[in-house]
Amino acid sequence: QSNVTLYGRVDLSVGSVKDDGTGATSNDLVNKTRGKTVTRMFHGGDGGLTTSRWGLRGTEDLGGGLKAGFQLENRFNADTGASQDPYFRGESSLSLMGGFGEVKLGRSTTVYDDVRTLGQSRDVFNSAFTASANGVFKSGGDYASRFDNKISYYSPNMGGFYAAIDYAFDEKAGVSEDKHALKFGYKDKAFEVALGHQNEKDKKDKYTVLAAMYDFGSFSMSGSINRRSGTAANGDDEEYALGVTVPMGAFAFSGGYAYSKTKHSTGGAKDGKANGFALGMTYSLSKRTRVYAGWRDVEVKNASGVKTKDERLYAVGVRHDF
Amino acid sequence: QSNVTLYGRVDLSVGSVKDDGTGATSNDLVNKTRGKTVTRMFHGGDGGLTTSRWGLRGTEDLGGGLKAGFQLENRFNADTGASQDPYFRGESSLSLMGGFGEVKLGRSTTVYDDVRTLGQSRDVFNSAFTASANGVFKSGGDYASRFDNKISYYSPNMGGFYAAIDYAFDEKAGVSEDKHALKFGYKDKAFEVALGHQNEKDKKDKYTVLAAMYDFGSFSMSGSINRRSGTAANGDDEEYALGVTVPMGAFAFSGGYAYSKTKHSTGGAKDGKANGFALGMTYSLSKRTRVYAGWRDVEVKNASGVKTKDERLYAVGVRHDF
Amino acid sequence: QSNVTLYGRVDLSVGSVKDDGTGATSNDLVNKTRGKTVTRMFHGGDGGLTTSRWGLRGTEDLGGGLKAGFQLENRFNADTGASQDPYFRGESSLSLMGGFGEVKLGRSTTVYDDVRTLGQSRDVFNSAFTASANGVFKSGGDYASRFDNKISYYSPNMGGFYAAIDYAFDEKAGVSEDKHALKFGYKDKAFEVALGHQNEKDKKDKYTVLAAMYDFGSFSMSGSINRRSGTAANGDDEEYALGVTVPMGAFAFSGGYAYSKTKHSTGGAKDGKANGFALGMTYSLSKRTRVYAGWRDVEVKNASGVKTKDERLYAVGVRHDF
């Protein structure tokens, strides 16, 4: 069948996790790790390189430089076989592409999320081992990485420069939830810089990120500065991330640091603070298969000074693409 | 893999909808459109040509003129990536085929639904823009287009004539829910006519439809007369639909009208009435990809004379097959 | 796409079932069959050869005798199109294989379940018609045939001998649920014998099975002895199964008998007893497609001497692989 490509990835790891935080939680598995080292299996997205997935995609040449394309991507937890929700959580989209750029309809990552990803792309491979993972970036816990009911326009590459915009339609009664995002960037072989912005009206939160990546040859670095501007009750966030990756033959080594501060403008509440360190290593058995080891140390303090999270996670795993 | 074909369709559109009806509804999105134009994205099945889907199918030659075949078809909402329920909602079937015709087991469309589809096949491409869509045909809201636990027999083509029968087993306690349906028809190159009947014992509703299609070359028409015979409490329906399609190069234009009347035999209740108009246009970018625009105007009055729906819908979209 | 194989099976049958048991049940469909013959469609797993499924699998040669492999398998009820839960219920795994054997991560059948399957492999084709199906083996209703969060090691074949071990990580708070299983066996062309053990700490149940299969040429036999050792409240089980299959050209005939006894050590409770007979026949239309007929008679008495189940099931069906 030439019209469709069936692809996917399975990522599984085994490791240990311990959380000395004291914040209340209803999460069964987090409770189990409170003050105690728990050895467990991770399904990639929670303690590995990437979330497991399978999908369908294809493009059709329509002539005259015009192309149609689609992508449908399911995400699943490979340790239990459970599908994530919604079914095509990763992507469910249809595109028309040409000299004018690309128009995409459906559910897919926001262009703001693209920039955020760029800013952490060298930070332990933008994985669950990324320094900002699991609570360091407050906005990571609340911004929407994908919009439903979205129409997007991606410009063509214009001498290295690019731009893109997202608009998600408002389909809920009683609340104005239309959302939009945009990005501008410049990219050449070894360097990329981009500015992204996302506005989620229903939550009254605005996100702005400046991110860059530079490949020095023997190593590459990425970094980002991110701000969330919320209501007086929500407070504002400032977030910083820095990452470095060093390839050595079939090996790649990487490290990262991330820091965030939540400022509350309402009466007297202190700032919440969080930071994370991470280190990782991959070894490529082939283009499609790599083994890896990673470590992540995350500390989150809320506005009352309570450590809601104080987690150390180690894991070794395998990632296989098909 | 020669044994299985992976196929599908993504259909997405953007448009506006307004409903001046006053009937109470708990549907959030309908409430949002009450007396107000809402611009939104549609997932094909709710404001486009067809429901998005992906599936697996194949046939095996068993020798001696005998074949085995299967089809599994998922339906999903492409605007959000959500799977419809059940998982293989479109079809989940196994067939044995030969000179005797076809015996099919599992879940699939009823043969009555086949005839109903024929009767609206030229009516804005049997899509969400079909004149009868969304409440004009009362039976469209209550008959089962597919049966679970179904065994079907489809006759071979006998000089243009064909027949088929469905029987769905009764698998619920405390209620007799066995259902059946049958159809008879005649088909040649340019003409098809068929009679269909469906009996759903659990709801005490019987449906009968007479439908035809004629291709005049420069244009083609379809039409149907449909009756639901229910209990005194359910009332009876009479439904009529007419559609025409005019191909012009890569374009196709289509229009349709549908009308229905629900008669209540119980004391003094007036008739419910509904009607719908629809117009649509498609432009084929290729055999697999077309863009389209459509308009639908639906008005539904209940037995108390209240307009429960008074909806106008416009949309432009893209449909891509793989 | 050479990296992935798309495969599956659809199994559907039609037959009748009657249950003269008197034990209370909340199962709607079982209630319907109480003292009454019900004709219905079965989805393979409940009255056919095997559960319907579709899946993705592949292996990659990594060089140096090392291979990577994955398997993702969905199970579904072909009579209604409903997916079983979790989504990749059948298997969700990633493997590294080499001269050392195989290490597998994720969700898959336990090695104890492998031995149990061997012991019934000639007993009506290890299907829903297997003599032990549906309540004869008490442990069949309570042991876990698959573990989530599992790491397994399978030895290579060592002159016919093999061994394997499963360990499933404990990921629930407030209960120690880590589980393990192991097996040892010997296999040559016509003979296989294996010992399996499974320990499910959370339920305080231990399972041990000894199973064998012998192919005499004109017929083959399988058998097993199985013990569950539980708490005083749970009691202990003893289970026995014997099966024979006779191939005759495109036909295969099979019969089986299974018996179980639950011993309660607590004060005065009698033993629960259950037994089942089964007969079946398959006819291969091709390597991928077979039609079949089967009969199963199951009787279950609880510790109070009440027949909770007294079921007779007949069905004819089709199974198609792709």
Q: Which residue of B has its CA nearest to A105?
A: B12
- CB-based contact, A150 to chain B, within 8 Å: yes
Q: What is the pLDDT of residue B1?
A: 43
Q: What is the pLDDT of residue B268?
A: 59
Position with higher pLDDT, A201 vs A54: A54
Rounded CA separation C67/B302 (Å): 67
Q: A29 and C173: CB-CB below 8 Å?
A: yes
Q: Which of B202-206, C83-87, C202-206 has the highest mean pLDDT?
A: C83-87
Confidence of residue A267 (pLDDT cuts 50, 70, 90): low
Q: Give the residue among C126, C123, C132 at the shortest CA–CA distance from C114.
A: C126
Q: Give the pLDDT mean for A73-83.
A: 97
Candidate from A10, A82, A285 with C-beta closest to C94: A10
Q: A285 and C107: CB-CB below 8 Å?
A: no
Q: How far is C144 from chain A (nearest CA, A)?
A: 13
Provide, as residue numbers in chain B, all residues whose Cβ is less than 8 Å from the Cβ of A68: 285-286, 288-289, 318, 320
Q: Give the residue among A226, C21, C35, A94 at the shortest CA–CA distance from B291.
A: A94
CATH number of C5-321: 2.40.160.10
Best mutation target, B34, B40, B320, B321, to test chain A (most A CBs within 10 A):
B320
Q: C68 and A285: CB-CB below 8 Å?
A: yes
Look at the block and give the residue holding tokens 């469709």.
Answer: A4
Rounded CA separation A89/C175 (Å): 32
Provide, as residue numbers in chain A, all residues whose Cβ is less than 8 Å from the Cβ of C87: 76, 81-83
- E strand or H helix that includes residue A1: none
- Which residues numbered 279-318 in C keep a CB inside 8 Å of some CB on B? 285-286, 288-289, 317-318
Long-range contacts of A191-194 (CB under 8 A, 24+ apart): A191/A215, A192/A118, A194/A114, A194/A115, A194/A118
What is the identity of the amino acid at B222? S
Rg of chain B, C-alpha, whole Å: 20
Q: What is the pLDDT of residue C269?
A: 63
Rounded CA separation B71/B288 (Å): 20
Measured from the Cβ of residue B26, the count of other Cβ atoms closer than 10 Å reads: 6
Between the alpha carbon of residue A198 and those of residues A135, A168, A202, A240, B86, the distances in Å are 19, 11, 12, 17, 35
Q: Give the residue among A74, A78, A46, A98 at the shortest CA–CA distance from A315.
A: A46
Q: What is the pLDDT of residue B266?
A: 61
Q: B94 and C12: CB-CB below 8 Å?
A: yes
Q: Which of A243-257, B195-209, C12-26, C230-244 has the highest mean pLDDT?
A: A243-257
Q: B41 and A88: CB-CB below 8 Å?
A: no
Rounded CA separation A207/A236 (Å): 10
Measured from the Cβ of residue A83, the count of other Cβ atoms closer than 10 Å reads: 20
Provide, as residue numbers in chain A, all residues whose Cβ is less than 8 Å from the Cβ of C62: 285-286, 289
Check pLDDT > 70 for residue A161.
yes
Q: C80 and B149: CB-CB below 8 Å?
A: yes
| Percentage of chain A modeled with pLDDT above 70 | 97
Per-residue tokens: A292: 């890896």
Per-residue tokens: C87: 């989504």
Size of interface A-C (CB pairs under 8 A): 117
Q: Which residue of A has its CA nearest to B87?
A: A87
Rounded CA separation A235/A220 (Å): 34
Q: Give the residue among B208, B145, B202 at the shortest CA–CA distance from B179.
A: B202
Provide, as residue numbers in chain A, all residues whose Cβ is less than 8 Å from the Cβ of B81: 72, 86-92, 106-107, 148
Tell me: the pLDDT tens digits for A204-243?
Answer: 889 999 999 999 999 999 999 999 998 877 788 999 999 9
Per-residue tokens: A129: 């081992």
- Under 8 Å between Cβ of A211 and A223: yes
Provide, as residue numbers in chain C, all residues whose Cβ is less than 8 Å from the Cβ of B97: none
Per-residue tokens: A155: 């410009």
User: Which pairing describes strands A91-98 and A82-83: parallel, antiparallel, or unpaired?
Assistant: unpaired
Rounded CA separation A133/A114 (Å): 16
Q: How far is A221 from chain B (nearest CA, A)?
A: 34
Q: C81 and B56: CB-CB below 8 Å?
A: no
Per-residue tokens: A136: 């360091």
**Mean pLDDT computed over every residue of chain C:** 93
- Under 8 Å between Cβ of B166 and B146: no
Within chain A, what is the greatest distance between any pair of CA atoms? 64
Q: What is the pLDDT of residue C268?
A: 60
Q: Which residue of B has its CA nearest to C316?
A: B105
- Which residue stretches of A223-283 are H helix? none
Rounded CA separation B105/A85 (Å): 30
Position with higher pLDDT, C174 vs B1: C174
| Percentage of chain C modeled with pLDDT above 70 | 97
Position with higher pLDDT, A288 vs A302: A288
CA–centroid distance for B119 within its chain: 10
- Which residue stretches of B34-120 are H helix? 111-119
Measured from the Cβ of residue C137, the count of other Cβ atoms closer than 10 Å reads: 27
- CB-based contact, A66 to chain B, within 8 Å: yes
Candidate from B7, B10, B80 with C-beta closest to A94: B10
Q: Which residue of B has its CA nearest to C42?
A: B149
Per-residue tokens: B23: 């009937």
Per-residue pLDDT of chain B (322 residues; tens, 9 = 90+): 468 999 999 999 999 999 999 877 888 888 889 999 999 999 988 999 999 999 999 999 999 999 999 999 999 999 999 999 999 999 999 999 999 999 999 999 999 999 999 999 999 888 999 999 888 998 766 899 999 999 999 999 999 999 999 999 988 877 777 899 999 999 999 999 999 999 998 888 899 999 999 999 999 999 999 999 988 777 889 999 999 999 999 999 999 999 999 887 665 567 789 999 999 999 999 999 999 999 999 999 988 888 999 999 999 999 999 9
Q: A151 and B14: CB-CB below 8 Å?
A: yes
Tell me: the pLDDT tens digits for C240-268?
Answer: 999 999 999 999 999 999 999 988 766 56
- Which residues numbered 106-145 in A keep a CB inside 8 Å of some CB on B? 106-107
Q: Give the pLDDT mean for A108-114.
A: 97
Q: How far is C16 from chain A (nearest CA, A)?
A: 34
Q: What is the pLDDT of residue A266?
A: 61
- Which chains share 3+ C-beta pairs under 8 angstroms with A? B, C
Q: B14 and A94: CB-CB below 8 Å?
A: no
- CB-based contact, A87 to chain B, within 8 Å: yes
Q: How far is A178 from chain B (nearest CA, A)?
A: 10
Q: What is the pLDDT of residue A99?
A: 97
Provide, as residue numbers in chain A, all residues whose Cβ is less than 8 Å from the Cβ of C3: 288, 321-322
What is the DSSP-derived secondary structure letter of residue B132?
T
Provide, as residue numbers in chain C, all residues whose Cβ is less than 8 Å from the Cβ of A14: 105, 151, 169
Measured from the Cβ of residue C116, the count of other Cβ atoms closer than 10 Å reads: 30
